[in-house]
Amino acid sequence: MAKPLISSRVSRLAGSARIPGDKSISHRALMFGALAVGESTVTGLLEGDDVLRTASAMRALGAEVERLADGSWRLFGRGVGGLVEPADVLDMGNSGTGARLLMGLVAAHPFTTIFTGDASLRSRPMRRVSAPLERMGARFVGRDGGRLPMAVVGATQPLPITYELPVASAQVKSAILLAGLNTPGETTVIEREATRDHTELMLRNFGATVRTEAAEGGGFAITVTGYPELTGRPVVVPADPSSAAFPAVAALLVEGSEIRLPGVGTNPLRTGLYQTLLEMGADIYLDNARDQAGEPVADLVVRSSRLKGVDVPAERAPSMIDEYPILAVAAAFAEGTTTMRGLGELRVKESDRLAAMARGLAACGVAVEETQDTLIVHGTGRAPAGDATVTTHFDHRIAMSFLVMGMASARPVKVDDAEAIDTSFPGFAALMNGLGGKIEAVGE
Ligand code: S3P
């Protein structure tokens, strides 16, 4: 059942709000805890649908995975190479990260795993992971176009490879590195543009040898040594900077606002949005910067600001890939034109986000232009009209972006279905309303 929500203009946001745990780090904490010998504890785990699917999958692969309290979990892992064949299909729901990383993990185990997902995940490209993993010895049988449902017949004698990523993707990089764990010798991924390095950081923390070196011809070569002894560890998950982006942009746009978001991850490979917002004139301040179990975090303090349009270079895309929808909303309120380049990958996310943003913004009265991989938003420095119902295509970030848009537009903005928000940001509407927002179920 679709869950439409409507968001209306409010006068000021204030207060402090605890953002749910980082989605990327939460998936990895469960996967690596399941591979480590002994007990791992995870605190601050994101309990959104995507991550809960990974928790179920790790159980199906033989690990002990137990929820102790809110965000607090305990795992007993199987050791590298110790996963067992799941008795049923693994349904990864909406989660590309869960599906792709686990395909890598099981590709180097001598059994068959069958993956499926929701309509969005079943339409997303998987060849980007199956192609390199086939070279390591796994076989894949899927639907036309390399789509789920897909069976992965794991290699009995996996081979190490050196593979250059054809697209900048942390998911593909991670899938290969995870296969490399149960493969003899050294498995190397070459990336020309740096993508989020949570896999490398956390694997090192669990005791694996992972080297990151400058690659010949530019970029980085990341090498994992096979058969490491991973040992159970405590993992503390930072608040997700990609989720924090929604209240942060809302506070920038709603006049007279000041909010604080404690303990947000500030890994430099994730903070392209914040760099861009600062260039647009945003008043964002990082307080209390510190290190938390190998990842940098800080408290974000955000005050309303008059923004101006900027040019966002294509090279910045990997460090803010999930943040273009909310940046496009900020750009709609800025004075002048914002040009976002190098966005081809947005077309194969949970939805075609480039098209969804262009259509939704136009419906809200914003002048926007779209090419195959560019989004251009012409802001006037005044609040756009709003007054539209936006189609979210079961995409959490599209839904949240337009609910933020409604908080500062002249007239309310409605989203046709906000159900997908639970995949990454459970409690989103309540959290925004706690800061002073007015997001309501339609008909209330
Ligand atoms: C993620 C990588 C990115 C990102 C996704 C999470 C990860 O995907 O969009 O939300 O956790 O590795 P790509 O690797 O496809 O760019």
Q: Does 401 lie in the same domain as 292?
A: yes
Q: Does 382 lie in the same domain as 244?
A: yes
Choose, from 22, 322, 395, 417, the residue flagged as catalytic: 322
Percent of the chain surpassing pLDDT 90? 98
Among the candidates 167, 196, 226, a domain finishes at 226
Q: pLDDT band for position 187 (50/70/90)? A: very high
Structure token digits, residue 250: 């809302």
Q: pLDDT band for position 293 (50/70/90)? A: confident
Q: Measuring CA to CA, which residue among 408, 416, 423 is closest to residue 442?
A: 416
Cα–Cα distances (Å) from 71 to 45, 79, 232, 235, 237, in that order, read 5, 24, 18, 11, 9
To the nearest 10°, report the CA torsion of 95, 25, 205, 161: 30
Q: Does 400 lie in the same domain as 299?
A: yes
CB 397 within 8 A of CB 407: no
pLDDT surpassing 60 at residue 234: yes
Q: Does 322 lie in the same domain as 274?
A: yes
Among the candidates 226, 259, 293, a domain finishes at 226
Does residue 196's CB lie within 6 angstroms of at least one atom of ligand 1? yes
Residue 2, pLDDT score: 92
Q: Does 36 lie in the same domain as 16?
A: no
pLDDT in tens, 119-146: 999 999 999 999 999 999 999 999 999 9
Centre of ligand 1 from the C-alpha of residue 260, in Å: 26
Q: Does 33 lie in the same domain as 12?
A: no
In the chain, the number of structural domains is: 2
Residue 130 lies in a domain: yes
Q: Does 274 lie in the same domain as 212?
A: no
Residue 407 lies in a domain: yes
Q: Does 381 lie in the same domain as 285?
A: yes
Q: How large is the average pLDDT for residues 276-292? A: 97
pLDDT in tens, 389-425: 999 999 999 999 999 999 999 999 999 999 999 999 9
**Domain containing residue 331:** 5-21+239-441
Centre of ligand 1 from the C-alpha of residue 171, in Å: 5
| Residues 351, 354: Cα–Cα separation, whole Å | 9
- Nearest-5° Cα angle at 56, 54 to 58: 70
Residue 236, pLDDT score: 97
Residue 234 lies in a domain: no
Q: pLDDT band for position 444 (50/70/90)? A: low
Q: Does 309 lie in the same domain as 380?
A: yes
Structure token digits, residue 383: 């609040």
Report the nearest atom of ligand 1 relative to the CA of 27.
11
Q: pLDDT band for position 210 (50/70/90)? A: very high
Residue 107 lies in a domain: yes
Is 118 annotated as a binding-site member? no
pLDDT in tens, 80-129: 999 999 999 999 999 999 999 999 999 999 999 999 999 999 999 999 99
Residue 443, pLDDT score: 73
Atom 16, ligand 1: residue with shortest CA distance: 169
Residue of 260 and 145 predicted with greater confidence: 260
Q: pLDDT band for position 154 (50/70/90)? A: very high
Q: What is the CATH number of the domain that holds 370?
A: 3.65.10.10
Does residue 321's CB lie within 6 angstroms of at least one atom of ligand 1? yes
Residue 294, pLDDT score: 86
The preferred substitution site among 51, 100, 101, 196 for testing ligand 1, maximizing ligand atoms within 8 Å of CB, is: 196
| Residues 186, 160: Cα–Cα separation, whole Å | 6
Does residue 170's CB lie within 6 angstroms of at least one atom of ligand 1? yes
Among the candidates 226, 257, 281, a domain finishes at 226
Residue 232 lies in a domain: no
Centre of ligand 1 from the C-alpha of residue 383, in Å: 32
Q: How large is the average pLDDT for residues 267-283? A: 98
Residue 78, pLDDT score: 97
| Residues 25, 18: Cα–Cα separation, whole Å | 17
pLDDT surpassing 80 at residue 338: yes
Q: Does 248 lie in the same domain as 124?
A: no
Q: Does 110 lie in the same domain as 169?
A: yes
Q: Measuring CA to CA, which residue among 35, 29, 85, 97 is closest to residue 226?
A: 35
Residue 231 lies in a domain: no
pTM across the whole model: 0.98
Q: Does 104 lie in the same domain as 88?
A: yes
